[in-house]
Amino acid sequence: MKPYPVIPCGERHLPAILAIWNDAILHSTAIYEYEPRTPGMVGQWFDQKQTADRPVLGIEDGEGRLMAFATYSPFRPFPAYKYTVEHSVYVDKACRGQGMGKKLMLAIIDAAQARNLHVMVGAIDSANEGSIRLHRALGFTSCGVIRQAAFKFGRWLDLEFYQLILNTPEQTVGG
């Protein structure tokens, strides 16, 4: 892969994020959704990320076009889960197989550690062998499968969970 740096995404990246997401929705099982997202939905999502200090990281080509992005969200909406997040990485279909997923995974792991999180969870369609292989290579371990968790493209989909336990936080708060 060319030495494109990982950068924080800004509002100018939202059209590319929308295009990458919608391609995944319409043509893959990377997202268990049926309907494409709208610019308004992506704008609201991005505003929520900014307000909550949750990173949206990306990789641009030499001309400033977003090729891939990554982020994380709370795993569950309850206070006791405050140290656990579920991450997502999406790569433009024309840019897959170039190491961008790994580069973004390493960056999002670093961002989680910097924010004193403790567990990262990846929810991966069981047919996504590349993502499963990447997660295992980065030290994630399998922590469960929900059989027939979703129905898309006329078939039942199994959802596998992988987790990485981080060495943070140094001190916990609450509970």
Decide if domain 6-165 falls under CATH 3.40.109.10.
no
- What's the pLDDT tens digit per position in 44-90? 999 999 999 999 999 999 999 999 999 999 999 999 999 999 999 99
In whole numbers, what is the pLDDT of the chain averaged over residues? 96
- What's the pLDDT tens digit per position in 30-56? 999 999 999 999 999 999 999 999 999
**Residue 157: partners with Cβ closer than 8 Å, 6 or more residues away:** 29, 32, 125, 126, 127, 148, 149, 150, 151
